[in-house]
Amino acid sequence: MFGSGNPQLYRPHDVFTAMGRCWVLEDEFNYPINSNLQNSAYVHDTMRQECNWLFREQKMFYDELVGYKLLVPRQLASQMPKDTIDKLRKALNRIREENNRMKSTF
């Protein structure tokens, strides 16, 4: 195989597909560095999209934990209000913590 002219025989996508898994990058949500744009409509929309993504991810983790008969950490982020940008920011931090706890139980 050495010297075949193709140093990369398989792409990571091919390997993960063969394993029956779908991997998605977590850094899809970009926020502006400028602190003046912290409460802009763009940031608010991006935070809502990330929140929806994290809730879907949490549902997937929940189903896997229940399927493996493991203990499921408390999930309180779904009950938090998200009507203002500050409350949404708190809910996002909470769901990130909850998802990290679920990831660490595997």
For 11-38, how does the pLDDT look when each residue is reduced to its tens digit (9 = 90+)? 544 544 555 555 555 557 888 888 888 8
Largest CA distance in the chain: 59
pTM score: 0.72
Q: Say what the pLDDT of residue 35 is.
A: 85
Amino acid identity, position 106: F
Residue whose tokens read 């913590």: 97
pLDDT at 3 over 50: no
Contact between 55 and 80 under an 8 Å Cβ cutoff? The reply is no
> 79-93 pLDDT, tens per residue?
999 999 999 999 999
SS3 81: coil
Residue range 52-57: mean pLDDT, rounded: 92
Instruction: Output the CA torsion 25→31→33→38 (10° steps).
Output: -150
What does the alpha-carbon distance between residue 19 and residue 17 come to, in Å, rounded to a whole number?
A: 5
